[in-house]
Structure 1
Amino acid sequence: MNIVVSGGGTAGHINPALALADELQRRGHTVYFAGTPQGVESRLVPQAGIPFTAFPATGFNRNHPATIVKALRLMNSSTKKARAWFNEVKPDCVVCFGGYVCIPVGRAAEQLGIPVVVHEQNSIMGLANKYLSKKAAAVALTYRVAGDAVGDASKLVVTGNPVRSSVFDATREAGRAYAGVPEDALMLVVFGGSLGARHINTALCQQARELLKRPNLYVRHITGPKEYDTVCEQLDIPEELKDRWTVVGYEDRMGDVLAACDCVVSRSGATSLAEISALGIPALLVPFPYATADHQTTNAREYVDAGAAYVIADDQVESPEFADLLAKLVDDASVREGMHAAAASFRTNEAASKLADVVIGATR
């Protein structure tokens, strides 16, 4: 079968879409990708060897009517282009992962009678997915609570959030060799998503000397490209300890790094949580407070309730409470063992296969 996968704007939409594409291709199906010309998908999808077609789309500001008119014109134009493209590639199903580009792509599929499957990565459904879910053949969820936005509950199926095979295939041994961390050391990874997180970075710099009093602890601090220079300036540790605190702006081999580590401090975006749960990594989560409808806090709460993570608000990361939670995560092996076991309840390793089953089922 021919399957079109669509998503745009952030890696949080693209990575699970590529994970599904991997699974569909493994099953012998042909996959095409529809995204925006300027989004990260325009780079990541061709790198993955998947045919990529771009359709312009943009958001709007309700307080500025002119932006609404422009967005609607662009979406109507892209809908027509998507219909013409579909007549060429003849998809059996279109799968939408979110982002404004999914609206014209999904609308074109509906107009041609092609089944649409929506996948929502977060605990709060995004605007594009909410719109498309009204006519979708199926709505796949990472978190059951996201389905509250869908009128027809019979469409809902919880699949989890797909993770690419490169994450599952990574090994602790290869990751430790890449990171330069001894096998018997304790490794903490700090990251705030692809753009970084200033509060997390500042808090870790403040804790660095105290953390490195543990002679067996190694830290890999992924700052985000814009924060790298600032972190290097803030990080005040003796020269002889710097080989145990590695600062990088961006990490291309995240699968290897996560496979190597024992615990993480992280934001709670959909992709970060999926990768953390896929490998059962104990975590201290710091939700991004300005995410739409505060969905990162809702995401994180699912993991805390399951016993798979700690959570603390962004405005509390420079507090004694953050220092205490971080110390427990690093020092208490029983805490990490409990979180590792609890993460298995999310069954993220099955998500790509489950979603592929939903997609194939929608074509019948």
Structure 2
Amino acid sequence: MRVIFTGGGTGGHIYPIMAIIDRLKQQKIASNDEILFVGTKKGLEAKIVPAAGVNFTTIDIQGFNRKHLLKNFTTVNLFIKATKRAKKILTAFKPDVVVGTGGYVSGALVYAAAKMHIPTMIHESNSVVGVANKFLGHYVDKICYTFDDAATQFAEKEKLVKTGNPRSQQILNLHSPQIDLQKELQLNPKISTVLVFGGSRGALAINRVMLKSLMKLKNKPYQIIWVTGTFYFAKVKEKLQNIEYGDNIKILSYIQNMPALLPEMACVVSRSGATSIAEFTALGVPAILIPSPNVTHNHQMKNALDLEKAGAALVISEADLNPNSFISSIDHILLDEKYATEMSAASKKLGVPDAADEVIKVMQEISR
């Protein structure tokens, strides 16, 4: 099977594709030469995809500007040019199916493929459907989704297929040896551990509440791995010179192999991007979610509230985030074994262990 994947800008658009690609290769459905990822030069995909050894090419495009409408003349012009470039890529590669996960680059490529009568499908990993996917829903053959709320936002009900997020299956199938907490991080493997993580660069609000909470956390009967993110690590270290904190708190800038650490965690504190949610629901790890307010259509809050409604997470908005709400939420999970067990079970119900296989099944059904 020859496949073109497209999506860009954020990890939520990229990691589901990488999970599908891994599974296609494992099952020998498509070789590396039969797979092409189309993204942008500026997006996160330009680093992640080539580094993984996946064939990669780019299209020049930009999103609509809601504040400066006159700039959208350039956007429309770029979209027209991007569609022409997409048609050249499609003609040269001759895919059996084209799969988009969101981002403006997918809008141009999947639209062009549909107009050329090439089988097309999209995958929506968030609760709130992105602009590109909402536009493409009119043209594609199938729409795969993760959250039930996303399905309500598409008018094309006959195209919908609930698959879950392919990243869930990838996490479950990873065979990396788990991180030895005692040997590698000098922590006690016999007590519960919380992971506080704001993304690879970090999250200012999460780092601030951790700094304010250190004095109260040092006497807790659990331990914390605080990953500040690479952008904030030096600033956090500087502030720590005037703060005493306990041996039960380990502070790192970044963790290279997060999937190897997650199975050891009793609880995760994080943002609520689709990729993060797919990772800890796959393993059934209870979560405290602090959604980023700086995302399109506030979709992280919607993702988080869906998990909270299912009993798999506690949600704290940035407006309500303070040491009391933060620490009491951790205590609620780690100091109540029955509650933690119920949360873990609810989380596992949301993780789809064969999500990548389900997406591939749809790809095979519509491919020419």
Q: Structures share a fold, TM > 0.5? A: yes
Per mean C-alpha deviation after superposition, the further-off stretch among 118-127 and 77-86 is 77-86
- Tell whether 2:38 aligns with 1:34: yes
Identity fraction in percent: 34
Q: Which runs of structure 2 are paired with 1:298-317 in the superposition (5 Å)?
A: 298-317=302-321
Alpha-carbon distance in 1 for matches of 2:340, 2:231: 31
Look up the equivalent residue of 1:136 and give its one-letter code.
V
Paired residues of 2:127 and 2:299 also in contact (CA < 8 A) = yes
Q: 1:320 — aligned with what? A: 324
Q: 1:234 — aligned with what? A: 239
| 1:238-288 Cα deviation digits (max 9, x unpaired) | 37x35x322223332111221222211111111111111011111111111
Q: 1:339 — aligned with what? A: 343
Alpha-carbon distance in 1 for matches of 2:269, 2:230: 18
Pick the aligned partner of 1:225 from 215, 224, 230: 230
SS in 2 for 1:238: coil
Pick the aligned partner of 2:195 from 189, 196, 201: 189
Q: 1:5 — aligned with what? A: 5
Q: Which runs of structure 2 are paired with 1:12-51 in the superposition (5 Å)?
A: 12-28=12-28, 29=30, 30-51=34-55
How much is the aligned-residue C-alpha RMSD, in angstroms?
2.0
Paired residues of 1:223 and 1:231 also in contact (CA < 8 A) = yes
Alpha-carbon distance in 2 for matches of 1:44, 1:8: 11
Alpha-carbon distance in 1 for matches of 2:350, 2:277: 10
SS in 2 for 1:221: strand
Paired residues of 2:169 and 2:352 also in contact (CA < 8 A) = no
Alpha-carbon distance in 1 for matches of 2:162, 2:62: 29
Look up the equivalent residue of 2:358 and give its one-letter code.
K
Q: 1:135 — aligned with what? A: 139
Paired residues of 1:141 and 1:156 also in contact (CA < 8 A) = yes
TM-superposed deviation, 1:299: 0.8
TM-score by length of 2: 0.92
Pick the aligned partner of 1:57 from 51, 58, 61: 61
Alpha-carbon distance in 2 for matches of 1:208, 1:65: 46
| 1:300-359 Cα deviation digits (max 9, x unpaired) | 112111111111111111153333112112322222211111112113222111111111
Distance 1:116 1:175, change over 3 A: farther
Pick the aligned partner of 2:252 from 248, 253, 259: 248
Alpha-carbon distance in 2 for matches of 1:171, 1:334: 29
* Gaps in structure 1 of 5+ consecutive residues: none
Look up the equivalent residue of 1:14 and give its one-letter code.
I
Alpha-carbon distance in 2 for matches of 1:195, 1:107: 33
Alpha-carbon distance in 2 for matches of 1:53, 1:179: 39
Query: Number of matched residues?
Result: 361
Alpha-carbon distance in 1 for matches of 2:155, 2:169: 33
Paired residues of 1:24 and 1:31 also in contact (CA < 8 A) = no
Paired residues of 1:8 and 1:41 also in contact (CA < 8 A) = yes
TM-score by length of 1: 0.93
Look up the equivalent residue of 2:205 and give its one-letter code.
H
Alpha-carbon distance in 1 for matches of 2:162, 2:123: 10
Alpha-carbon distance in 2 for matches of 1:304, 1:93: 36
TM-superposed deviation, 1:149: 2.3
Alpha-carbon distance in 2 for matches of 1:354, 1:110: 22
Alpha-carbon distance in 2 for matches of 1:198, 1:306: 28
TM-superposed deviation, 1:171: 5.9
Distance 1:269 1:141, change over 3 A: same
Alpha-carbon distance in 2 for matches of 1:116, 1:108: 10
Paired residues of 1:118 and 1:129 also in contact (CA < 8 A) = yes
SS in 2 for 1:114: coil
* Gaps in structure 2 of 5+ consecutive residues: none
Pick the aligned partner of 1:268 from 272, 288, 311: 272
Look up the equivalent residue of 1:226 and give its one-letter code.
F
Per mean C-alpha deviation after superposition, the further-off stretch among 338-347 and 134-143 is 338-347
Q: 2:220 — aligned with what? A: 214
Alpha-carbon distance in 2 for matches of 1:334, 1:170: 29
Alpha-carbon distance in 2 for matches of 1:252, 1:39: 20
Alpha-carbon distance in 2 for matches of 1:296, 1:196: 16
Alpha-carbon distance in 1 for matches of 2:168, 2:37: 16
Paired residues of 1:163 and 1:348 also in contact (CA < 8 A) = no
